Structure 1
Amino acid sequence: MSLVINNNLMAMNAARSLGTHYGALETSTRRLSSGLRITQASDDAAGLAVRELLRADVTSLQQGIRNANDAISMIQTADGALGVIDEKLIRMKELAMQASTGTYNSDQRLIIDSEYQAMASEITRIANSTDFNGIYLLNGNLSGATHSGSGLTSTGKLKVHFGSGNDCSEDYYYIQINTSTASALGVGMSATGANGRSISTQAMAQASLDVLQDAIISKDKIRANLGALQNRLENTVQVLEIQAENVQAAESRISDVDVATEMTEFVKNQILTQAAVSMLSQANSLPRMALSLIG
């Protein structure tokens, strides 16, 4: 190679190498500081696209877990209220049994019936006031056979959405809770049937026993259905947690940086950068050798 002054090719070569190694060093620094292998689209365009889809799935699954847990809390709220209604119905049957015997007179049966009516009123109050996040659970609001979410307020049975798509066989199912007011159960003065309205006479008390038995069975069916739904939701949460964990692991393998490997690259590029700087300094001093020939 000729000894020239105008074009220092050695310095140009050293500068190009310096730029290459410094750029690689910058990339390693960015990855190590962020913990991500892909910090911008140019790092891995295809990997970035896959990663973002996986991230969307992970966040959707995590929200689905929260949705399912919220539904479990709602079911527990309804079941707790139904447990109190259960106690009232059992007390009402006890009172009906008491009024059915002939050892009480009419005044005493009226006193017994006053408590009977009070229990019925309390059942209706509980059913009408039990709500979860403003959604009334036992007043018939969720007893509809069909669901409509087209309006600002959904109607009919409640949809629990936990999947990342919109497939009814995979991503959601419904919670339907029948009405649990005293009139719906057929007891108390608000009942439409002739029996179960009052126990003020011996005959009415005796006739109320079968109605109260049916009311307890109806309430038990609601609680059993809620219990089955809760078990199903708990199993759903377990599956969603496993899915979210596996999808997160897949996203990590694509996105996260291997610190050991990247640190090796960082040290290598750091050494090469330092070497390029030193060689550039030496190359820049080479044209001075021409002065010794001139002088």
Structure 2
Amino acid sequence: MSVIGTNSAALRAQRAIEAATKAQGQASEKLSTGKRINSAKDDAAGMAIAQTMTSQLRGMEVAKRNAADAISLTQTAEGILGEVQNSLQRMRELTLQAANGVNRPEDRAALQTEMDQTVAQINALLQNSEFNGVNLFSNTAQGTAARDYNADGDLLDYSGYGYYRDELMHSAGSTVINVQAGANATDNVAITLPTLRSNGDDFTLLGTDLAVNGTMRFVGISNIDLTLDYDVGVAAVHRTNELGSTGWMDPEGYVAFTDSDYKSYAQIGVTAQQGLTVIDAALAQISTARVNLGAAQSRLESISSQLDTNIVNLTDARSRIEDADFSTESTALAKSQILSQAATAMLAQANARQQDVLKLLE
């Protein structure tokens, strides 16, 4: 049939040109950007999956930096405690030397002079220890101040006026630093730093409970006095306690944060023999804290290593979804270019066939 109103062959060629041009444009876009998915229309589901993976990857990169910062913090804290432990070892040597009965009072006074300086250095280390403004060992904000309601020299529960009452148990607390060590909210590592000094009380909380003149007290390293021949307790005073009772009792102004069941006072003094027990307890406290910090550092290093592995594997998975395969796309580009040229030639031929109708009119 010879018609000129409708040229079906030309229409088919036009559609082929449009399809080839579209495919050529898509291949060119992917080759120029390097991405298989440049907009949601390219692969809606793939784009959603790739964006989720991107969130995870960027989160893990931040988590790696967080873990590195936390490792630096633990190294700083552990280094401070190492210096404290070295000072305590020196204090133990001085105490052992002072416990020797051949020393004159002048000798023990000289040993006490060095002891005081060593204690002052420990106080300064713990009082001023911080990392990026975070207080490490002297934060009592999470602690509970002691309250000895019946002023009996301890913080144990007691019965008063026919009912059982709880003393307000004290605790120095601790500083808990939460490290975001992963891309998800649950990927959290808690680093616990013990509170070893109460700056408000001006008292370092390294020591143990001891009987001082028959009364249990918390004795700290600052309570050791190598010049003493016998322990010095706290003199009772005549006062009225919280219950309204009046009599000879412990004075007020005791250390509020000592992690002990017994009150502590700065004016307590113990001899070299008792001092050895105090220093050994302090060394145990520092050793425990260093062990915990070392374990936390090892854990963070393991997490950082695992994050490296996860980042590599997840990056590979995302690449397979959203990155362009240049071999495939260059082949598609060549194919679309050839089809475009062929379709253009066919359109020219389809239009040329219409010229044959003129011969019928001659």
TM-score scaled by structure 2? Answer: 0.68
SS of the residue corresponding to residue 215 of structure 1 reads helix
| Map of 1:201 onto structure 2 | 227
**What is the alpha-carbon distance in structure 2 between the residues aligned to residue 239 and residue 208 of structure 1?**
47
The answer to whether the aligner puts 1:233 opposite 2:233 as a matched pair is no
Larger Rg: 2
1:138–1:179 CA contact under 8 A, matched in 2 = yes
Name the stretch that deviates more: 58-67 or 220-229.
58-67
| Map of 2:331 onto structure 1 | 264
| Map of 1:65 onto structure 2 | 64
More RCO (CA 8 Å, sep 6+): 1
1:253-292 equivalences under 5 Å are: 253-284=320-351, 287=354
Name the stretch that deviates more: 53-62 or 239-248.
239-248
Name the stretch that deviates more: 237-246 or 203-212.
237-246
Spell out, residue by residue over 1:81-129, the C-alpha distance to the aligned partner (whole angstroms, 9 max, x if none). Answer: 1111111111111222222223433233223212211211211211122
| Map of 1:32 onto structure 2 | 31
1:81–1:126 CA contact under 8 A, matched in 2 = yes
The answer to whether the aligner puts 1:183 opposite 2:209 as a matched pair is no
Q: How many percent identity over aligned positions?
A: 34
| Map of 2:185 onto structure 1 | 166
Residues 144/49 of structure 1: CA separation in 2 closer, same or farther (3 Å cut): farther
The answer to whether the aligner puts 1:2 opposite 2:2 as a matched pair is yes
| Map of 2:285 onto structure 1 | 218
Name the stretch that deviates more: 213-222 or 259-268.
259-268
Spell out, residue by residue over 1:203-243, the C-alpha distance to the aligned partner (whole angstroms, 9 max, x if none). Answer: 42232111111111110000001111111222222333333
**What is the alpha-carbon distance in structure 2 between the residues aligned to residue 172 and residue 17 of structure 1?**
57
**What is the alpha-carbon distance in structure 1 between the residues aligned to residue 353 and residue 110 of structure 2?**
117
**What is the alpha-carbon distance in structure 2 between the residues aligned to residue 246 and residue 142 of structure 1?**
43
1:82-97 equivalences under 5 Å are: 82-97=81-96
**What is the alpha-carbon distance in structure 1 between the residues aligned to residue 218 and residue 109 of structure 2?**
21
1:37–1:258 CA contact under 8 A, matched in 2 = yes
Report the CA distance between 1:281 and its aligned residue.
4.4
2:78–2:293 CA contact under 8 A, matched in 1 = yes
| Map of 1:126 onto structure 2 | 125
| Map of 2:310 onto structure 1 | 243
Task: Tell me which amino acid in the other structure corresponds to 2:43.
Answer: D
Task: Tell me which amino acid in the other structure corresponds to 1:132.
Answer: F
**What is the alpha-carbon distance in structure 2 between the residues aligned to residue 194 and residue 229 of structure 1?**
28
Name the stretch that deviates more: 21-30 or 108-117.
108-117
SS of the residue corresponding to residue 216 of structure 1 reads helix
SS of the residue corresponding to residue 41 of structure 1 reads coil
Report the CA distance between 1:292 and its aligned residue.
6.5
**What is the alpha-carbon distance in structure 1 between the residues aligned to residue 111 and residue 46 of structure 2?**
75
Residues 66/195 of structure 1: CA separation in 2 closer, same or farther (3 Å cut): closer
Report the CA distance between 1:55 and its aligned residue.
1.6
| Map of 2:22 onto structure 1 | 23
**What is the alpha-carbon distance in structure 2 between the residues aligned to residue 46 and residue 59 of structure 1?**
20
| Map of 1:150 onto structure 2 | none
Spell out, residue by residue over 1:239-289, the C-alpha distance to the aligned partner (whole angstroms, 9 max, x if none). Answer: 333333332222222112222122211111121122233444454555555
TM-score scaled by structure 1? Answer: 0.82
**What is the alpha-carbon distance in structure 2 between the residues aligned to residue 248 and residue 138 of structure 1?**
41
| Map of 1:151 onto structure 2 | none
| Map of 1:149 onto structure 2 | none
**Count of aligned pairs between the two proteins:** 279
Spell out, residue by residue over 1:136-174, the C-alpha distance to the aligned partner (whole angstroms, 9 max, x if none). Answer: 1122369769xxxxxxxxx9512122233334xxx2231
Task: Tell me which amino acid in the other structure corresponds to 2:296.
Answer: L
Report the CA distance between 1:46 and its aligned residue.
1.3
Structure 1 unaligned runs (5+)? 146-154
**What is the alpha-carbon distance in structure 2 between the residues aligned to residue 144 and residue 232 of structure 1?**
27
The structure that is strand-richer by fraction is: 2
1:196–1:211 CA contact under 8 A, matched in 2 = no
